[in-house]
Amino acid sequence: MVTTPLTCLNYIDGEWLAAKSQAILESRNPADWREVIATFPSSGAEDVDAAVMAASKAYHNWRLTPAPARAEFIYRIGEILLQRKEELAYLMSQEMGKPLAEARGDVQEGIDCAIYSAGEGRRMFGQTTPSEMPNKFAMTVRSPVGVCALITPWNFPVAIPCWKMMPALVCGNTVILKPAKDTPACATLLVEIFQQAGLPNGLVNLVHGHGDEVGQALIEHPGINLVSFTGSSQTGAEVGATCGRTFKRVCLELGGKNAQIVMDDADLELALEGAIWGAFGTTGQRCTATSRLILHRDIKEKFTAMLLDKTRKLRLGKGTESDTEVGPLVNKSQLERVSYYLEVAHNEGAKVLIGGKVCTDEQLKHGFFFEPTILNHVTPDMRVAREEIFGPVVTLIEVSSFEEAIKVLNDTPYGLSSSVYTSDVNRAFQAMRDIEAGITYINGPTIGAEVHLPFGGVKQTGNGHREAGSAAIDVFTEWKTVYVDFSGRLQRAQIDNR
């Protein structure tokens, strides 16, 4: 296990460095805020400059390294991640609060992503297409985009950086990672693992600090070719606007307001398991979390009773304790945000069936714990049914038909994940066709994405790109069309006669 507090540094051009200003910040344990987990640099524009310079220099060799050789390096990272999985998972649980079992799952996603992306190194196919000319061949090849800025949130501190870094690197790009300031230690240990795998200087650079300083300097920097951002829709809109203004390719993975429909013909035990995991897994701090349960009126009463019973038995605690099912929120402002939405719920006339307040348990009083909460009498027009809460709060909405359920599900500015529990195959296919979301689960919870499949959403959840799976290769490469004219001269007559 890692001994805390850790002293984390930036990693630029193969060296561990303090910020040029020497300023530092702290990350603390959300289950007990008295405990400092790490100190880390509060970097500025001059540190970003150094990282961009290092990444640009490294790009010249890396882009010419054959993709299968790049892939071998990525595979090696996957192997070391597997060896150090427990260490990384424990640190994650200490630093952002998720239960150990979930933290292991987070690291496992990083491993899966490395293994999958390494395979892509041998599959970076283009196309050959017949030319209209007799003396020409035509083809498309993939080229790397260049220097990529990767800006990540705290809720999946290993998986999300890996979703971005593994495909970016295998495609021949170099990267600068700006992790969330709540999880600097996880990002530092991750980069140490890359270093252990034999990281060439400048290929991966790590710059810690405030989003509105480091993040902003990155998105504005003329040496950055691509920005891949995962975070809130509010920040994402600003990132997208800046990238538009400065002509950068940008991939935005943003918020969600995901719903699970439970129909009158559903297997209720199965739907219950899905609802509990979807709503309270990672303390509701997933972009795919179930925030709305859309319940058919014929099963609503029975299902609500089952839900209440199960929620009452959930064990809150420190993520590092083996029997914990629900950990703390990540920081004070998350606790305030969730408390604020409870006030909104009261004002809008929703009814708290369970939870609804900061946890008062003596053992947990130094952590950011909020009780798992169920809100009843919620209607689709209420703010609690439309805005992302990002905490352990689920709203119950009653409907009378399948058509109404789909309409309510779609009635949100977001479109990431969705789920339908039904035993009617026709309804399942209709849901697949009519739901406006990037991901639809049939008889499964809204959470639990697999790294070899495209991930992302519609509407205010993003800008149309997909990460993970083969879609990630589209994000991190440019198409180049190549014509080979083997006659050695222009054939005027053929051109004119076309």
Ligand X SMILES: NC(=O)C1=CN([C@@H]2O[C@H](COP(=O)(O)OP(=O)(O)OC[C@H]3O[C@@H](n4cnc5c(N)ncnc54)[C@H](OP(=O)(O)O)[C@@H]3O)[C@@H](O)[C@H]2O)C=CC1
Ligand Y SMILES: O=C(O)CCCC(=O)O
Site mask for ligand Y (CB under 6 A), range 447-466, x = bound: xxx-----------------
368-407 binders of ligand Y (CB under 6 A) = none
With CA atoms as reference, report the closest residue to 25 among 208, 155, 167, 226. 208
Least distance (Å) from ligand X to the CB of residue 140? 29
Burial 127-148 (b: 16+ CB within 10 A, else e): eeeeeebeeeebeeebebbbbb
Q: Which of 30, 110, 231, 328 contacts ligand X by CB under 6 A?
A: 231
- Indicate which of ligand X, ligand Y, none lies near residue 205 (CB less than 5 to 8 Å, by partner kind): none
As a whole number of angstroms, the distance between CA 455 and CA 304 comes to 31
Comparing CB distances to ligand X, the nearer of 78 and 255 is 255
- Indicate which of ligand X, ligand Y, none lies near residue 154 (CB less than 5 to 8 Å, by partner kind): ligand X
422-461 binders of ligand X (CB under 6 A) = 461
Rg (CA), the chain: 24
As a whole number of angstroms, the distance between CA 69 and CA 256 comes to 37
Q: Which of 20, 136, 210, 346 contacts ligand X by CB under 6 A?
A: 210
As a whole number of angstroms, the distance between CA 293 and CA 164 comes to 31
Catalytic residue among 253, 325, 398, 467: 253
Comparing CB distances to ligand Y, the nearer of 40 and 455 is 455
Cα angle 307-107-450, degrees, rounded to a multiple of 5: 65
Q: Which of these ranges, 50-58, 77-85, 443-451, 480-488, lies near ligand Y under the rule CB under 6 A?
A: 443-451
258-317 binders of ligand Y (CB under 6 A) = 286-288
- Annotated active-site residue 404? The verdict is no
Q: Which of 153, 281, 391, 415 contacts ligand X by CB under 6 A?
A: 153
As a whole number of angstroms, the distance between CA 256 and CA 417 comes to 7
Comparing CB distances to ligand X, the nearer of 230 and 373 is 230
As a whole number of angstroms, the distance between CA 246 and CA 241 comes to 9
Q: Which of 89, 206, 219, 439 contacts ligand X by CB under 6 A?
A: 219
CA 310 to chain centre: 28
H or E stretch covering 388: none
Comparing CB distances to ligand X, the nearer of 181 and 318 is 181
CB 447 within 8 A of CB 289: yes
Least distance (Å) from ligand X to the CB of residue 216? 5
Q: Which two tokens stand for residue 421?
A: 């529990």
Least distance (Å) from ligand X to the CB of residue 288? 8
> Residues 6 or more apart from 232 whose CB is under 8 A from it?
153, 254, 255, 388
Binding of residue 238 to ligand X (CB under 6 A): yes
User: Residues interacting with ligand X, by CB under 6 A?
Assistant: 151-155, 178, 180-181, 210-212, 215-216, 219, 230-232, 235, 238-239, 253-256, 287, 388, 390, 416, 461
Residues labelled catalytic: 253
